[in-house]
Amino acid sequence: MNTTTSSSSTPTSQAAPVPQTHCADGPVIRGERMPAGRVDAGGTRLRLRALHVMGHGSARIARALGARKTTIQELASGNARTVSPQLRDAVSDLYDAWWDKRAPERTCAERSAATIARRRAIAGNWCAPAALDDDQLDVPGYRPQYGWKPATGTGVAPDIHPAVGHRYNRKGA
């Protein structure tokens, strides 16, 4: 790993992206064969973490996606290495809608949830959306150049309600 230092940030580690290769049984990432119908979860994880920086907690994200909170937590924490293409696309669409918007803080519960999400992002040194390289997000092994920085966004994100009957669970994450 290379360590870089910027005058406006703390040193961060940046690994070169890990190329995705293919074998007769399907794609291989980091030397392991990926299950059929799955993709690398790296870009999804970074998008979810960036939304946490903006105050969007796992429960709010899960509600907007029609997913389980635990699925979002597993992905954001890095415990899930692969994700379904459908959930990856749904997270990407949500990220596109919310990347520059703060979570609403209309009620005490919303303020508390936003604070918890931001604290989790600070503790994990998660990168804000504006510092992510959109062209590299879905490249396996991509790591942001910067860690956590405060972000206020351009406004408040709207509430998004998923289509009725559409849910992602752990198995479909």
Query: Is it the case that residue 160 has pLDDT exceeding 80?
Result: yes
| Cβ contact 29:139 at 8 Å | no
Residue 101: which residues within 8 A CB-CB, separation 6 or more?
Answer: 54, 153, 154, 155, 156, 157, 158
| Cβ contact 152:70 at 8 Å | no
What does the block give as tokens for 75? 């992905």
pLDDT mean over 41-46: 96
Closest to 124 (Cα-Cα) out of 70, 30, 46, 17: 46
Query: Is it the case that residue 104 has pLDDT exceeding 50?
Result: yes
